[in-house]
Homo-oligomer: A and B are copies of this chain.
């Protein structure tokens, strides 16, 4: 079953608010196996809305609209629906009565605008709004079902779960369709093109489970998805592909689905019963911030040293004058000394240190913007890596923090 989503609101096309409604609806629909290929956003204009709906109904069986059901003159979703289906609007008496009662309980009378909300194109029905005044609309017309939901997220979500999901599940069953199941593997320390090469055969030729790649700074995600009649069958197929991916990518797979790198690091530390300290120069607190985004991180995170100046590296972490003078603050010896100093001063089992040049200024031909050293110290040894990530300051901080956390993860798990 194919569906398209239409978000209505001038504030959305002007970029004044982020459209989280569409994302939410897409998630919920994808979860029950509805096919989603297109999504649209339109301003509060009846003509443009009707044009968009006219195009969409030729491509799909379900159109879900959010917004434009309110009482003000620029709420025009029901008028656009009437226009595109050539079905006149009429008032649903029972809804009008409910609305009058709703206002009566507040000691006021509904305005004419409010009563407009009880109108529906002929043949359609109103969907109950348990959190607000604007009912939704469900209208089956010429092999396409139009479903209009209110714009406020809480009202939309409630109505989606109360009325829309059950309706769509029923439709999917009626046409003998299958539910979709997905799993996402998260990778670090490998780029999108190398991942694509290592998985070329299953990316190019395999259609069930389908495998796709997504990249963001410091991370590649492998999404595996399949449609099946039951969860057990789906899980078996996802497991089989996951195993292939893990065989080829090994310890680069750090997490599954919503498991971030900071969560993976926390799990590794908890499993090892170990504690962590961080010493940050170029990432300026980002590593500590990510670690402490995880609820319960106080169980393994002891302290962070953000040593931006040379003096603070010496004073807080005991980095020697010789290292600063001979090698400079952005150097392998300095990263190692920072990690060892942080471990010693904090009493933590592991300490990770980063020093580098975030830019945009401060680079030299020998030490360009994008250069980073990452060191991890533990009881046995101190390891250090050199990296080079040219790009924006923000990207540099993100990538350096991601890799630093990954080195901690691998060290704690005995992988490096």
Contact = CB atoms under 8 A, between A and B. Distances in A.
Contact of A285 (B36, B286, B302): B286
A209 interface: no
A56 to B, nearest CB: 11
A38 B30 contact: no
A298 B17 CA distance: 29
Interface in A16-54: 16-20, 22-30, 36-45, 48, 52
B295 A291 contact: no
A229 interface: no
B154 A217 contact: yes
Number of copies: 2
Nearest to A157: B392
A72 B202 CA distance: 13
Contact of A288 (B37, B55, B284, B302): B284
B296 A361 contact: yes
Contacts of A312: 302-303, 346
A293 to B, nearest CB: 7
A178 interface: no
B48 A42 contact: no
Contacts of A397: 289, 292-293
Contact of A73 (B184, B204, B306): B204
Nearest to A313: B303
CB-CB nearest 9 A-B residue pairs = A284-B292, A15-B26, A304-B306, A285-B288, A15-B27, A285-B285, A303-B312, A285-B289, A39-B41
Interface residues of A, number: 110
A71 B394 contact: no
A196 interface: yes
A197 interface: yes
Interface stretch (A6-14, A167-175, A402-410): A6-14
Interface string A69-112: 01111100000000000000000000000000000011000010
Contact of A306 (B303, B361, B390): B303
A20 B12 CA distance: 11
A74 to B, nearest CB: 6
A23 B16 CA distance: 7
Contacts of A74: 212-213
A297 B55 CA distance: 51
A39 B18 contact: no
A131 B192 contact: no
A12 B223 CA distance: 13
